[in-house]
Amino acid sequence: MNILVTGGAGYIGSHVVKLLLENTSYSVTVIDSLVTGFESTIGELKKIRNFDFIKADLSKWNEIEKIFKANKFDAIIHFAASLIVPESVEKPLKYYLNNTANTANLVKLANEYGVNKFIFSSTAAVYGEPDISEIGSGIKEDFPANPINPYGQSKLFSEKIIQDTAKANSQFKYVIFRYFNVAGAAPDLSIGQKTKNATHLIKVASECAVGKRDGMYIFGTDYPTPDGTCIRDYIHVMDLADAHIKAVDYLDENESDVFNIGYGKGASVKEVIDTVKKVSGVDFKVETAPRRAGDPAMLIADSSKIKEKMKWQPKYDDLETICKTAYEWEKKLI
């Protein structure tokens, strides 16, 4: 089997490529523009075993079609996307072009060249700002999708394109994963998150712990949560990667589906910061600031569906483990 991974030099994509190379015999082809991905990550992954890497931009549709003409792919795992929420508000067209239009073209090529398995990287941002009173034990997949920013909307549009295509073509099957908050690094520290100017809480706190930042802010301490700070469902990147590998085989025997992927438990901003301080032994400076627009008080996944249907079992579902691998990776980057 030959698997095409778009965005495979990026944070999440590279961890999926790592597992594909280590745990399967599949051939792997990675496409990445290296705008936000890293060539050094590709070099690190090639130490596991060789694979094809093609530097290409998904917006150059003619170039991408040449890749499909030259290769026979059996599945596509599609990560390549822009994903900074505030930027999506300032530059909505960038997000609709890079995320939605490029996904539409990739789905079109998959149909034209007989690639009938499509694994898509979506987001919990499609749910917008859910009412805490309605969440209960977590957000289920049938919870209303109501994005509040162009990033979430661009992903929801992409989901619809994939789903409508599958309705029209019975051979074409998909798994859509709606990620909650991804963090951490490969436990062997071969790869991890290198994002420049990151806004991810655990990465920012880890950067503070290793001295890359002087301190950090908690945005909002008056939310309707036990300690007044936002609660999120943090998932280790390796557990997320494992689900993508499972999805490729899942589609052999099962129908297309949408899955939330988180642990079904939340941690507050204060809890995360305290955990990073604990695993690092560093008491860095933390200040409070007003709420940021568009930050829901609580986002927690109900992950019962993926556990039941895909038999997915997380191995790293512990906040200390997530924070420790993130901190150790940050130390390595110094």
Angstrom distance (rounded) from CA 81 to CA 62? 19
Helix (H) or strand (E) holding 250: helix 237-253
Query: Cβ distance 204 to 198 under 8 Å?
Result: yes
The reply to whether 151 belongs to the active site is yes
Q: DSSP letters along 151-169, please? A: HHHHHHHHHHHHHHHHHH-
> Beta strands 231-232 and 267-268: pairing type?
antiparallel
CB 28, CB 5: distance < 8 Å:
yes
Asked whether the beta carbons of 28 and 99 are under 8 A apart, the reply is: no
**DSSP 3-state percent helix, strand, coil across the chain (nearest 5):** 45, 20, 40
Selecting among 151, 234, 263, 327, the annotated active-site residue is: 151
Angle, helices 61-70/102-112, rounded to nearest 10 degrees: 30
Pair 236, 193: CB distance under 8 Å: no
C-alpha dist (Å) from residue 331 to 43, 122, 233, 269 = 20, 30, 24, 22
Contact between 243 and 175 under an 8 Å Cβ cutoff? The reply is: no
Helix segments in 113-143, DSSP class H: 132-135
Pairing mode, if any, of strands 257-261 and 27-32? unpaired
Which residue from 141, 146, 130 is spatially nearest to 306, judged by alpha carbons? 141
Q: Is 323:206 a contact under the CB 8 Å cutoff?
A: yes
Instruction: Name every residue whose Cβ is closer than 8 Å to that of residue 25 and which is 6 or more positions away in sequence.
Output: none
Q: State both tokens at 61.
A: 């549709």
Catalytic residues: 151
